[in-house]
Every structure is written in C-alpha cells, then in structure tokens.
Structure 1
Amino acid sequence: MAKKVFITSKLPGKIDRYLRSRGFTVSVYTGKEPVSKNELIKKASKAEGIITLLSNKVDREVLDELSNCKVIANFAVGYNNIDIQYAKKKGIVVTNTPGVLSDATAELTISLILACTRRLIEAEKFMREGKFKGWMPDLFLGTELKGKTVGIVGAGEIGTEVARRIKAFKTKIIYFNRSKNSIIENELKGKKVSLDFLMKNADIISVHLPLTEDTYHIINRSNLKLMKKSAIIVNAARGEVIEEKYLIELLKKKKIKGAGFDVYENEPDINPELLKLQNVVLLPHIGSATTETREEMAMLAARNVEAVLKGKKPITPVN
C-alpha cells in the first residue's frame, strides 16, 4: 500500500502533486482556520509522513497519537513548535527548511530597518489621509544609516546575509554569536562582542536567534535598558527571545527611538499596547514571504519526507 502523507495546510507550489508522483497518498488540510490540535491528531494519526507549519503545536499528546509516523517535516527553519526530543524517543525524524529562506528574510529585515529609521509607515499614512501640503524642511525627519553601528544578534545564515546587505549602507558591524563568523569579520570587517556591549553601543540592533531554552528572553530587562535613546531594534527571528513587555515599556516612555516587529512573544496574539504606539512598525510574520522562497521551502519539506519514507537519510534533520 502507498504510504500516507498529511500536510497541515495548502502550501505554495505543487508539492502534493510531486509526492503523489513519487507513489505517496497525500491529503491536505484545507480549512480556513489553522488546523486544531484535535483535527491534527484525527487527520494525521495514520500518516507515515507529516508536513507541519510553525503554528502547529506537535507536543507529547499529539506525538503519542501518531502511531505510524516516521517523519515530521516542519515548513520553517525554526522547530520550537515540535517536541523534538520526544519525537526522537519515538523514532520520528524531524526536519526543517534552513538555507532557502535566508535571502528573503534578510531582505525583509532591511525593509523593516528602513521603515523604522525613515518613518515610512507614518509618512505613507500621512499621505493617504491627505495631510501633505508641500515639502517642508522638518517633515518626517528620520535617521541616516551611514556611519551607524549595526549590532547583529545571532550570526547564522540569516544574520550573515543581513550584515552583508546593511554594510552597503556604509555602516559598522558588530555581532553577538557563540562562535566567530569569518564572513562578517573578514569580508565585512565586523567584530564579535558580548551581548551587553552590543546592546549598549549599537545604533541599530537586528535579532536573528533561534528560540531555544538558552535564548528565551536572552534580550531582557537587564540589557534592553543599556540601549541608546536613539537606538532602534528589529526582530525577524522569534518573539520569545525578547522580553516584549519591557521593550514596550521602553518604547512607551521613549527611552529608545523605535522598534520593528515581524514576530511576537505570544503570536498570533499581539500585545494591544503595541497597536497604540507610533514608534513601532508591525508586520504579520512575513520574513520568508516570497513566492520563490515559500515554494523552495515546500519542496525541501516534501523531499525530506520522501527521503525518510524511502529509507534514505533526511536532507535537513534537526533531531
């Protein structure tokens, strides 16, 4: 019998057709709302392979019901939605989609930085409301990137690509990472520093850490208060790496200049205090949202499922 694959959402590209052409039986959840936990268990209980979204919580309760499952391919670089250790204990391979979304996320990060520094959202709203009466010397004065120090928190693939792009604005680069990054140091003349040093000295802080036990609230009250009053922080990684409530407090009191969010601590719920602030830019987790990238992510997830179910090594395993 053909092995079953369940996909928790319709994905860009034609991976369901691809998997069927490889001999698998494929079912796709097509509900308008994200699949619920009970529905996930019901639909996936007999599947050998499952392709999940970051928003799908695959905890012990779910894993215990996946009696036939051999592989869970997460449609994301992150995998904090899956209990990977328990999955490993049950003999289930977990994979992710690294590499293919680095460029798209880096481009979005630069957009977020520019939106914050040049006040693009405020200015665009101003135009739509018919308030523009002509050029004025002090209209929407922003912050120039040239000569500024940019701090990269997390110098993996995405952090490196952000550093490459932001360097083109004639900035100085410092970074915080567990190990040295030869590209940032040799190619971009950047310097590895402590997190406290970075938070204190950077004009722009760009966060690119994965969410782990060690990185949860790694940016917190103690180091957020070190930031310059003129500094801007953007997060295109995971909301939980920043102590969001304290960051909001700083923004409300104008202790820092601004912030850009593509992710949130309690996503998809957003702290209502953020919606009241004028010195923030808020995006709906679209870091990798290009047609090209999402199709590549989907195909990588499909190829991981195919590899494992055909007895081969997974392409991008995380456990």
Structure 2
Amino acid sequence: MPKILITRPLPENVVAEARRHFDVEVRSETLPLTAEEKARALAGFDGVLATLGDTFDASFFDGTPRCRIIANFGVGYNHIDAEAACAAGVAVSNTPGAVTDATADIAITLMLMTCRRAGEGERLVRSGDWPGWHPTQLLGMHVTGKTLGVVGMGRIGKAIAQRAAMGFGMKVVFYNRSAVTDLPFEATRLDRLEEVLGAADVVVLAVPATPQTHHLIDTAALAAMQRHACLVNISRGDVVDEAELIDALRQGRIAGAGLDVYEFEPKVPRALRDMENVTLLPHLGTSTLEVREDMGRMAVANLVAFFEDGAPLNPV
C-alpha cells in the first residue's frame, strides 16, 4: 500500500477517504513544511498531498526521490516547480473546478465591501464612535450598472463576471490571452490590458500565477485605471506589485482595493493595514467546509488514479 503524507490537517472525511486507499501520515502542524520536512516528504513517502506554502523548488528534486506524485490541494501550484518535478519523474496534480464558485463569491464580497466602504463602516460601529445616520456618511460607489473589468476569463473569471452581470446588471469587459466563447451573459473582450483597466469601475484579477503574470499590475497598469476605480485581487499576491499599489492608493490614483491574497503572504504591509479604503481578507477564497472537502476528495482521487492507472485525473 503506497505511503502518503498529508502536509496539513484536512477535514475528517477527506482523511478517512485517503486512509481507505493508502498508508497515511497526517502532519498536525498548520504552517508550511520546513526545508527538512520537505526533504523527508520526498524521500520517505510515495506521494505527498501538499498545499499552498509547501514550496518545492527545483533543488528538492535533485537525485531520485521516492515520491512519485505531489497532489496539490488547490488550483494554483506556483509553489511547486512542476517542470523540475516532471524531470525527476514526479507527477503534479491540482484541484480545478472545486474552488470556482467559492472564490467567485469572495471576489463579489470584496467588491461590495470596498465599493460600499463596508469594512470602514463595520470598524466605525465596533469602535463605539458611530454618531448615527446622516445623509453624507460613508458615501461609496453604487455598483449596479457600473463596468466590471475582469483580467483572466477562466473558470473563476467567468463565474465572477456572471454574478456581476446577472446579479448587479454590470457591464463586463475583459482581458484574456485566448478567445472566450459561449458566455451566458454579455461581455466584451478588449485587446489590451490597459483598455480593460481604463474602462472599468471595478477591476478583478483572476489570472494564475506564472512568470508572465508576475507584477502584471504594476505602475503603468495602475496608472491606466480610473481614479474612482477599485482593484480586487483573488488570484495570487505577486500578480500585483504591492509597493506600487500602496503608492497608488496613498496618492489617490485609484479609490480603493479589496485583497484576499498578498505578495509576501502571510506578511501584510502596515501601510495596507492602516488604510481605511482597503478591504483585507485572510485568503478566504475557498474557505467553506463543503469546498475544502471537495478539494480534498479531488486531491485524493488524483492520488488514487495515479497509483491505479499511472496518471492523476488533473495533471498540471
């Protein structure tokens, strides 16, 4: 029976499903693997069910690891050097689909909280200093009928756009490297990223983390946005040049930001934490029990398929 390491505590029914098929060790620590633990994982187990923060760069695949597959718990796998893993004979899989709706919901949450200044209002009430309602208090941006710019029209981008178009009557423009067809709502693909940024009242980032998307939102991109616009990021933190975002917010070049991910996560700059026009969430994109169970079962299914048929269901 293959020996599997699960690197973080997972929902009980996911672990139970894994134990039906494998000799399983579950690491009790909730923080990412240390370098020593990563080396042990590849040398001492036939498969590893890893997740965000368990960084396996090329150096860990030197030699001939015992591990034959890293089943990633999550869609994004930029923390794993998949090319180096493949060269060492280690398959890598992920869990697409399971996270789509929950992540789209968080994007809409951030959009509403930032545009309607909900975080600022909640802090005001909690402080005990709320003086009561008056006509010009915490005036935000009405999102209904505004323009949403989606950067990355994959599964998650489409789900976000559908919620915005059908739920709030928003006009949708988007930037995507390839053509997108059969959308169940009206949307316009623009040829240049800057066109989308300039047209949108709210910009949502839904691209994968790749070398090509690193700092995709930089000084020039932020300069293309309208001054009243808000930026929402539910993709990966390093898609945004965080220092440039802070400068743009400080200088009033954009109106606000809603962030669920951070460039140097879990470190969040004090400058962002001190800004009232920024909504900050602790990477809640997939944080529901049902979704985490679905992700776990998909990761286990990838392991089962690999050891039974030689290939995971969702290779990367």
Q: TM-score, normalised by structure 2?
A: 0.96
Query: Aligned partners of 2:204 and 2:283: how far apart in 1?
Result: 15
Unaligned runs of 5+ in 2: none
Write out aligned runs for 1:117-128 (5 A).
117-128=115-126
Query: Aligned partners of 1:124 and 1:50: how far apart in 2?
Result: 41
- How many residues were matched structurally? 314
Say which is worse superposed, 210-219 or 76-85, in terms of deviation: 210-219
Letter in 1 for 2:195: F
1:223 and 2:224 aligned: no
1:19 aligned partner? 18
1:196 aligned partner? 194
Deviation at 1:311, TM superposition (A): 2.9
Deviation at 1:43, TM superposition (A): 4.2
C-alpha contact (below 8 Å) 1:160/1:183 kept by paired residues: no
1:4 and 2:16 aligned: no
Q: Choose the corresponding residue for 2:60, options 48, 59, 62.
A: 62
1:157 and 2:159 aligned: no
Residues 182 and 244 of structure 1: CA distance in aligned 2, closer, same or farther (over 3 Å): same
C-alpha contact (below 8 Å) 1:41/1:66 kept by paired residues: no
Query: Aligned partners of 2:73 and 2:54: how far apart in 1?
Result: 10
Write out aligned runs for 1:48-87 (5 A).
48-64=46-62, 67-87=65-85
Query: Aligned partners of 2:241 and 2:229: how far apart in 1?
Result: 17
Deviating beyond 4 angstroms after TM superposition, the runs of 4 or more aligned structure 1 residues are none
1:38-69 C-alpha deviation (Å, 9 max, x unpaired): 12222442211100011101112322377211
Write out aligned runs for 1:35-50 (5 A).
35-50=33-48
Write out aligned runs for 1:1-319 (5 A).
2-22=1-21, 24-64=22-62, 67-167=65-165, 168-184=167-183, 187-193=184-190, 194-318=192-316
Letter in 2 for 1:262: D
Deviation at 1:124, TM superposition (A): 0.8
Query: Aligned partners of 1:7 and 1:313: how far apart in 2?
Result: 19
1:227-254 C-alpha deviation (Å, 9 max, x unpaired): 1110000000011111111111010111
Query: Aligned partners of 1:131 and 1:118: how far apart in 2?
Result: 19
C-alpha contact (below 8 Å) 1:29/1:35 kept by paired residues: no
Deviation at 1:177, TM superposition (A): 0.3
1:143-188 C-alpha deviation (Å, 9 max, x unpaired): 101221100000000000000001120110000001222244xx22
Letter in 2 for 1:27: E
C-alpha contact (below 8 Å) 1:112/1:260 kept by paired residues: yes
C-alpha contact (below 8 Å) 2:52/2:79 kept by paired residues: yes
Letter in 2 for 1:250: A
Residues 65 and 89 of structure 1: CA distance in aligned 2, closer, same or farther (over 3 Å): closer
Query: Aligned partners of 1:43 and 1:100: how far apart in 2?
Result: 26
C-alpha contact (below 8 Å) 1:217/1:240 kept by paired residues: yes
Query: Aligned partners of 2:163 and 2:305: how far apart in 1?
Result: 35
Say which is worse superposed, 200-209 or 139-148, in terms of deviation: 139-148
Residues 313 and 44 of structure 1: CA distance in aligned 2, closer, same or farther (over 3 Å): closer
Letter in 1 for 2:103: T
Letter in 2 for 1:6: L
Q: TM-score, normalised by structure 1?
A: 0.95
Unaligned runs of 5+ in 1: none
Deviation at 1:272, TM superposition (A): 2.2
Letter in 1 for 2:105: E
Aligned partner of residue 45 in structure 1, secondary structure: helix
RMSD (Å) for aligned C-alpha atoms? 1.4
Letter in 2 for 1:15: V
